[in-house]
Amino acid sequence: MSQNIAIIGLGSMGFGMALSAVRGAHRVWGDDLSAKRKAEFVVEGGETSPLSEAAPQLDVVAVVVLNAAQTEDVLFGDNGIAPKLRKGAVVMGCATVPPEFAKDMEARCTALGILYLDAPISGGAGKAAQGRLSIMASGHPDAFAAAKPALDSLSETVFKLGDHAGPGSAMKAVNQLLAGVHIAAMAEAMTFGMTQGVAPEQFLDVISKCAGTSWMLENRAPHIVEGDYSPRSQVAIWPKDLGIVLDIAKSTGFNAPITQTALDQFKAAADMGLAAEDDAAVAKTYARQAGITLPGE
C-alpha cells in the first residue's frame, strides 16, 4: 500500500529513511533546514511540491531531528505541521527524547485528532538507507496500523513496546546508554592497546572476533583505523543522549556512574572542537592524554 509520507530532517538517518520510503513506492516529501539537502533528495525521487501544500494529503510524518526542542518546533512551532495534518494521519517521533516528552506529544496530537507513534530508531545511517532499521515503538494500535506501510519500508524490526507513548523512548534511552558507553569503551581500549604496541588495525582484526567485541566496536573502530571522521553520527549527539539517560536516572534516584564517565569523555571531545566529527573521534581525547598519534593524524 502506497502512502504519502514526509520525512522531516534529512540528516544521515533521515535521508536514508527517505530513500527507503521512495524505494517502497511511496510518495515522499523531504524537508530540512538545508536547501541543498532537500534538492539532493528531489534528485533521488522526492516530491517537488512544498511540504506546506502537501500537509493535508499526508498519511505519515516521520520527525527525524536532533532533540525534543526541534521535535516540538516541527510539530507545534510557528510553522508547525501538526495543525495542518488531516485527522487520522500519524506522526512518528523518531528522535531520542525523554519518555515524558513523548507522552506530551502524543496528548497534543490526540487533541488535534492526529495519531502519534513514539518511534525512536536504531541501526545507523547504513541500515536507514537499506530500510533495515530497528524501531522501538509504542503507541495506540491505531497508530501502528496507520504507520504500517511506512514502517514496512523503513525497518527490519519493529518492537511493539506498549499501547501509549513513553515506553519506546524509555527503551531508546537504555539503548543509548549502552551505545554511548560502548563507543567510549572501544576508544579507550584501542588507545590503551596502542600504548602497549597493539596497532589499531590489529586491535580491530583480533577483538572483533573475541568476547570483548560489540556492534559499536565493529561499526566505529574502522573509522579510527581509516583516520576518517566524516560524521555518520556526531560527537555532539552523545552529550544530549547520555544527558537524557542521566536525567531519567536522577528522576528515579538511580546511580549510573559508567554513563557519567562516558558522558564526560564526549563532553571533553566536544570541548576539543570535535563536536561535528564522527563520534569515533572520542578516541582523540585518549590519544591526546596519552601522547599517541592516531591513524591519519
Mean local confidence (pLDDT), 48-65: 97
**Per-residue model confidence as pLDDT tens digits over 149-190:** 999 999 999 999 999 999 999 999 999 999 999 999 999 999
Mean local confidence (pLDDT), 184-208: 98
Give the separation between CA 6 and CA 18, rounded to whole angstroms: 8
In the CATH scheme, what architecture does the domain 169-290 have? Orthogonal Bundle (1.10)
Mean local confidence (pLDDT), 183-207: 98
**Per-residue model confidence as pLDDT tens digits over 220-273:** 999 999 999 999 899 999 999 999 999 999 999 999 999 999 999 999 999 999
- What pLDDT score does 64 carry? 98
State whether the Cα torsion 134-140-141-147 is positive or negative. Answer: negative
**Per-residue model confidence as pLDDT tens digits over 79-106:** 999 999 999 999 999 999 999 999 999 9
Nine-digit cell string for 174? 537504555
- What pLDDT score does 139 carry? 98
Outline which parts of the chain fall under CATH 1.10.1040.10. 169-290
Outline which parts of the chain fall under CATH 3.40.50.720. 4-164
pLDDT band of 279, cuts 50, 70, 90: very high
HEC letters along 140-170 = CHHHHHHHHHHHHHHEEEEEECCCCCCHHHH
Residues 6+ apart with CB under 8 A from 152: 24
Classify strands 133-137 and 121-122 as parallel, antiparallel or unpaired: antiparallel
Catalytic residues: 172
Give the separation between CA 16 and CA 125, rounded to whole angstroms: 6
Domain 4-164 is found in CATH 3.40.50.720: yes
**Strands ordered across the beta sheet of 60-63:** 27-31, 4-8, 60-63, 90-93, 115-118
Name the packing angle between helices 167-195 and 200-207 (round to 10°).
130
- What pLDDT score does 165 carry? 98
**Cβ(282)–Cβ(269) under 8 Å?**
yes
